[in-house]
Chain A
Amino acid sequence: MNRKVDTLLIGTGVAPLLAAQKLTARGETVAILNPDPDFFLENSELSLDLMSFESANTDLGRRFSNNLPEQVYRDLIPEFPGALEIAKEEDHRKQSADYRTDEYRVEGAPWIRSRHRLWVAPERGPSRERMEMLYLRALDLGVKPQWLEGVSLAKRFPGFSMKNIEARGLEGWVGFVGPRLGDIDVSRYRTGLLEFVRERLGRENVLTSVHLLNSDQRGIRYQRREGLPSNLEVARSVLYFWTPKLERMLRQNLEKHHPRALRGFNESASIQNWEEWDLLSRDPVNPYVVAHLESLRIWAHGEGPPPAPGWNQIKVMRRENSERWMGEQSFQELSRLVFQFMGWDRFTLRKMTPRTLYRWNQTTPIEFDQDGIRTLIIPACDGPIHWIASQVRIAIEGV
């Protein structure tokens, strides 16, 4: 028997779930098809904005304001069915040990953390120039950046240790402390959302491991990994959410139905590769700073309520220009970070995950007709999840 829905959503991560929430709130019937075996395998979704500026023309003010903790909260809360908690350094300091118990908080909720951004660069070199420009622009914006040098700068770094401090040449480093920006637990947010969407739509309308076969005027024909082909009639539109995992499928679709849009897309999006390293430290790590050291982003990794003292896991994201994962350059940069800058005498690698993201120049949805069905491709469904949430919201409002 054919099933019928108003809108069909095809995607891999959090984007189709957010869209489903919006559309069902409007009273539409919706189904989600995910080519992946699950919604948790999308690795292009981030907890924070990595602030990788490609050009001097980036609207810095807008970028900062989009990432303020309050804005992150505003972006994420409308579609989320439960509570979102906010953790700030000053709250933690004030209430220290009683923090978890002295007021009503949902420990199992996704937590938005509020962390200062710290930009660091060697005193000599091209990266200092770029950083100075950033500092001046931040000054102009009135976010009160604080310029620091040498040890006083390094002390603000997450994972900094005082060991052998004279021999490490820290006086050769400069940087500034920027505004406090927000980040969120991706996994908890996605779990909460998925749980609610599944309940609302029913498990039969949230399907994974789906292989799309073909489409005609009546709808979409698909097959699950273990099952017979099925038809889904679509009354209004089909929405694809563009993430790196769906790239091949979407390119084939565009090539067939809308080749001109494909050319436009090629110009508007480029691939960024990041290596995500989890390191362990024996020294305590400051969980309220995210550091930017050239191609590296460093912060105390964590999920849920503010960490207990002695927190010592650190996450390092490293921009990789080619696809040479774990190459010589990666280890050199990690070694310099750990031994020279942070002053550890050894480090333990806990995990390394490659992540592929897009860098988007244009984020307007692509609309075309696929065998008589109105089809939209929503770009920019990767990156920080609060960014994905706002992108999906804007796109759905236009549908």
Chain B
Amino acid sequence: MKIRDGQIDVAILAGPRLKQWPTQGVRVLSRHCSDSGLKVGWYGGPGVRVRGVLPLESSGALVMVEDVQGRLHRIQAKSVVKVSPDLEFPLPFEGWYSPGLIPEATARKLLTQGSLNWQSVVVILGTGNRALRLGAELLESHLSTRVVCVESVYPEVQGWEVDRRRFEMRGGKIIFGKPVVLSQKSPFLWSIKIQDDHGIRVIDVARVISVGPFADDSGFRESPPGSLLVEWENSEASQVKDDVEKVLLDENRAVVLASLIIKGLADPPSEFKAHFERALWSGKQRLRGLETLPDRRFSWAYDGKWLSPESKKILHEFEGTPKALKREGLLASIECVESIGCKVCEKVCPANAIQIDREKKTFLIEDKCTGCGFCLQACPSQVPVMIEGEGAGSYTTLVLPYTEKPAPKKGDRVGLLSRKGEVLVQGRVLDQFLDPYLDGAVSLFKVEVPSHLIWEVRGMIPIQGIEDISNSEDFYQERGTRVEVQIHGESRRVREGQLASVALFEIGMARPNDILMCEDGSCGLCQIQADGVKKFACETQIHQGMDLRFTRDHPASSELCPCLGITSTQLGEKIESVKPDTLEALSQVIEVGQGKCHGMLCKRAFLELSRAAGVKSDRFNDWSFPWGDWMIK
């Protein structure tokens, strides 16, 4: 086996299960490092698999990379940044490790590639922005008629008020409580018990999706201190608007991390130093703004259906709402009162009418607003609306963003919704408002609204019943044709070309081992026998006449580490008996995370449980080599 040797200053590595490469944070980090004269390399993406990192006693680390031809490269790097995906699982409870509970990435893959039954209730664990957005998307697409977000860790909702508003407006519910049992009732129906202040709720669900957050976002962790070996959890969003707050955090953390690396390794030219110091300062400022949101949370107050006088006052005084409406022509109203760091609307506004500086109290510059609607299309939380001619008569025109399908047509009667999703009154669709330069993912509708409700109405809902599109013929046809395969000698019809792991979910035969769907086989869990050859279900495509066999005895598990069968109680007992000071020490006496999946399922819970038991784990990075199962032929 030939090994090629190389040397580099900064190696930025895609950790296992990372789908998007390079991430936005990686781009910013590498740009800053290379601008200061450092030799930077990215390792990841299609065909390039990073096998692991071996920290060296002296300094830096050895990085082992396997290229598309299976050749090994051994790269000596002075600094290593391991970029990991943001994978969230809750603390273990009875039945958590089962196909009934899937992480967000798997859910999104099933939503785009599969034709799974999501009716009628979906429970999402976590109330962060991603959880609320996923819930809103499920409701908007009518794949699910009820979505419940469960907050089990924090005393309040973790997402932004604007995302909560969008979710609740679509009919989503938020409850506080801890999941205690997840059990299967039929191949497509699960039952989850949630313990809250009033007792235990039992909800029959199509699926439970784990999104989080279940712990505070720690940013990047350098371990050992001063080694310039860093692990960094990044957003995998391909567009900023898909995960705006995390991408913003990543971008600004990249600047701070770059400064750490540059200080340790480089001597940047003097003309660059001033530029770099400025970038670092503003990065730190923005980080502070993004990270201290919990102190400045905001929510609207209501008197029955209507906004309370205090909330109305806040709304009218807020700089994002127009103060003098035009008699003719549209004007944006961006009611983003909570002090969040998102500036997507500012970036897309072609007229430069949005200039957000919350300290200087500037937001919308009404004179410049042309009513183009770009901000409505771009906002990830669908907050902005456009208002026309307040007080012109008994009816006023409001432009609302709307993504649900089927969309109402011109002249249709629609229910007009308040910010918390209650129907206030009926209105009429005047027109569909679309800009030819935009992709049309978010349709804008001109709606006729009673003038006195112009500050109350912020959404709409068709009055006629929504047909269940998941039962329609088109729903399956657009996703390919079905072919016959043999599963343990039993004939089944699944769609050709789809991944075996997706197919197993569709026909209700998924195993707990299929829930990660890592695409690159990095967890090594979902092994199947396809036509007599051992493969991973997440990498194997279905074809006509395929013979699939797999181990079926994977019961739902309540264990902390299902690979090795270690329970949370055993972990607690071990901590109690050994009293380790650090997580490194604890890892030496208990094998949590050393099983087949190399900690992908249990690492986060292991960290949280250990931290709760008083073990120092803030700076823990697991540099054990390799990162995932590595099969050599």
Contact = CB atoms under 8 A, between A and B. Distances in A.
B630 interface: yes
A346 B534 CA distance: 12
A353 B626 CA distance: 10
Report the 6 A-B pairs with minimum CB-CB distance, sorted nearest first.
Answer: A38-B585, A40-B588, A40-B585, A331-B1, A349-B630, A328-B3
A338 B629 CA distance: 16
Contacts of A351: 594, 624-626
Interface in B380-399: none
B68 interface: no
18 contacts: A38-B582, A39-B585, A40-B585, A41-B588, A187-B588, A187-B589, A325-B62, A326-B62, A326-B74, A328-B3, A335-B632, A345-B633, A346-B631, A348-B632, A349-B630, A349-B631, A351-B624, A352-B52
B571 to A, nearest CB: 14
Interface stretch (A62-70, A112-120, A190-198): A190-198
Q: Which of A198, A328, A350, A351 has the most CB of B within 10 A?
A: A350
A350 B599 CA distance: 12
B270 interface: no
A27 interface: no
Given A191-B589, A328-B1, A351-B624, 11 more contacts: A37-B581, A37-B616, A38-B584, A40-B580, A40-B584, A41-B588, A325-B62, A326-B62, A326-B74, A331-B3, A349-B630
Interface in B161-189: none
A209 interface: yes
Contacts of A352: 52, 54, 625-626
Interface string A339-351: 0000001111111
A356 interface: yes
A332 B1 contact: yes
Nearest to B579: A198
B64 interface: yes
Contacts of B626: 349, 351-352
Contacts of B579: 195, 198, 203
Nearest to A331: B1
B582 A349 contact: no
B64 A347 contact: no
B466 interface: no
A227 interface: no
B578 A194 contact: yes
Contacts of B580: 38, 40
A354 interface: yes
Interface residues of A, number: 34
A80 to B, nearest CB: 15
A350 B629 contact: yes
A327 interface: yes
Q: Which of B54, B585, B594, B629 has the most CB of A within 10 A?
A: B585
A376 B301 CA distance: 73
Nearest to A209: B581
B296 interface: no
Given A194-B578, A351-B594, A346 B589 contact: no
A37 B580 CA distance: 10
A209 B630 CA distance: 35
Nearest to B587: A40
A347 B74 contact: no
Contact of A195 (B524, B578, B582, B632): B578
B632 A347 contact: yes
A312 interface: no
Contacts of A161: none
A198 B579 CA distance: 9
B581 A328 contact: no
Interface in A7-64: 37-41
B57 interface: yes
Nearest to B630: A349
B2 interface: yes
A356 B1 contact: no
Given A40-B580, A345-B633, A348-B631, A327 B74 contact: yes
Given A325-B54, A327-B3, A328-B1, A348 B629 contact: yes
B581 A331 contact: no
A114 to B, nearest CB: 24
Contacts of B589: 40, 187, 191
Given A198-B579, A335-B1, A351-B594, A41 B584 contact: yes
Nearest to A194: B578
Contacts of A348: 524, 629-632
Nearest to B58: A323
A243 interface: no
Interface string B564-600: 0000000000000111111011001100001000000
A208 interface: yes
A327 B54 CA distance: 12
A187 B577 CA distance: 13
A38 B615 CA distance: 12
Interface in A258-311: 280
Contacts of A326: 3, 54, 62, 64, 74
B72 interface: yes
B621 to A, nearest CB: 13
Interface in B28-85: 52, 54, 56-57, 62, 64, 72, 74
Contacts of B52: 352
A76 B359 CA distance: 68
B62 A37 contact: no
Nearest to A43: B588
